[in-house]
Amino acid sequence: MEKILFVMNPVSGGIDKDETILRIHWLSVREKFDFKFRYTTGENDDETLQAEIDWYRPDRVVACGGDGTVLLVARNLINTDIPIGILPLGSANGLATELTIPEILPEALELAVKGQVSRPIDLLRFNEKYLGIHLGDIGVNALIVKNYAQSGDRRMVGYARHLFRAFQESEQMQYTIKTPGETYRKEGYMLAFANARRFGTGVYLSLNGSMSDGRFEICNFQEIQLEELINLGLTKFELFLDEEMYSDVISCKEAEIEINREVDFQIDGEYIGKVEHLTISTIESAVRIIVPGGEDEEEETGIA
Ligand SMILES: Nc1ncnc2c1ncn2[C@@H]1O[C@H](COP(=O)(O)OP(=O)(O)OP(=O)(O)O)[C@@H](O)[C@H]1O
């Protein structure tokens, strides 16, 4: 009987998980699979998850939460063949959007449990230490993520307050970006490192990027416009929606970045700290994520 481990963030997105839990129980009877829940606590989740994977030896692991929960699962399944399903239950589900995973819970659950198509996904490695799966950035957005995390207020109104504060406080940065072929000097309010083509809203960040091409995109935001931020219905990864702002994009396999001062840095919604220097590289095809079959134009492979 297939074994499925559900890794559930009980607080993600401020969403009650009771319906999800009930549906999983019901589906396990219908589809005849064995399952376990592992609830995250925000403390030592890597260690407990790794121990659970070693002990239970699941055939697939389903991340139930936002991008942070998917990243937790991904970094504990690197170099295994265990595919990852996603139930998008976070305040930021940018990765699920990118991979065209259904937003509707029953559909996402059917896919996560029964999907037979998985896609190899690259991970990003920052300063040889931190892994990322979707988006990292320095500057104004990282400052918002920091303030938001520190406040403990998960509501939108709290978020809006942090957005205004960060917008007022943020100063322009100067950076030197070295890629294997070139050195660029730029200035701006935010530098994003994207293993993806689009933000959570579906707005494209780069038309050519892919999560499976061994490359990532560095996007410089020279300007930020408050009016757009307010008008367009925000979540913490969906700030910059003016398409003209995406023109300053570098696509590369690795990069080294020097910043003229210490700035805030976040990865997939987690505040990391202040940095003045960053190295970024890709780990190609590090994990496999279950996606809707036949609907994506990129490489897909059946689950072994
Ligand atoms: N039981 C818990 N209590 C508090 N925080 C938790 C718990 N479990 C996980 N976390 C934290 O939740 C964050 C990941 O959240 P995730 O990205 O899955 O959902 P989200 O709703 O998009 O995130 P956020 O809460 O940052 O808006 C991590 O910082 C993790 O440490």
- Beta-carbon contacts of 70 under 8 Å, excluding residues fewer than 6 positions away, are 63, 84, 86, 95, 96, 133, 134, 268
pLDDT score, position 82: 98
- Helix then strand then coil, in percent of the chain rounded to 5, is 30, 35, 35
CB neighbours of residue 51 within 10 Å: 13
- Indicate if the pLDDT at residue 238 is higher than 50: no
Average pLDDT over residues 277-286: 96
- Indicate if the pLDDT at residue 48 is higher than 50: yes
In single-letter form, the type of residue at position 248 comes to D
Q: If we measure between CA atoms, which residue out of 150, 295, 302, 280 comes closest to residue 217? A: 280
Best residue among 69, 130, 153 to mutate for probing ligand 1, ranked by most atoms within 8 Å of CB? 69
- Indicate if the pLDDT at residue 300 is higher than 70: no
pLDDT score, position 295: 46
The CA distances from residue 192 to 12, 15, 87, in Å, are: 23, 28, 25
CA 139 – ligand 1 centroid, Å: 21
Q: Which atom of ligand 1 is nearest to the CA of 69?
A: 18
Q: Which atom of ligand 1 is nearest to the CA of 269?
A: 26
CA 68 – ligand 1 centroid, Å: 7
Q: Whose CA is nearest to atom 26 of ligand 1?
A: 269
Could you tell me the domains of the chain? Answer: 3-116 (3.40.50.10330), 130-285 (2.60.200.40)
Q: Which atom of ligand 1 is nearest to the CA of 65?
A: 18
Q: Which atom of ligand 1 is nearest to the CA of 43?
A: 31
ipTM of the complex in this document: 0.95
CA 12 – ligand 1 centroid, Å: 5
- List, chain by chain if needed, residues with CB within 6 Å of any ligand 1 atom: 9-13, 40-42, 65-69, 90-92, 154, 269-270
Phi/psi for 176 (5° steps) reads -110, 125
Q: Whose CA is nearest to atom 15 of ligand 1?
A: 68
How large a percentage of the chain has pLDDT more than 70?
80
Alpha helices in 170-225 (DSSP H): none
pLDDT score, position 129: 94
- Does residue 171 contact residue 182 with C-beta atoms inside 8 Å? no
pLDDT score, position 212: 81
57-61, 175-179, 294-298 — which is least confidently predicted? 294-298
State the chain's mean pLDDT as an integer.
Answer: 85
CB neighbours of residue 22 within 10 Å: 10
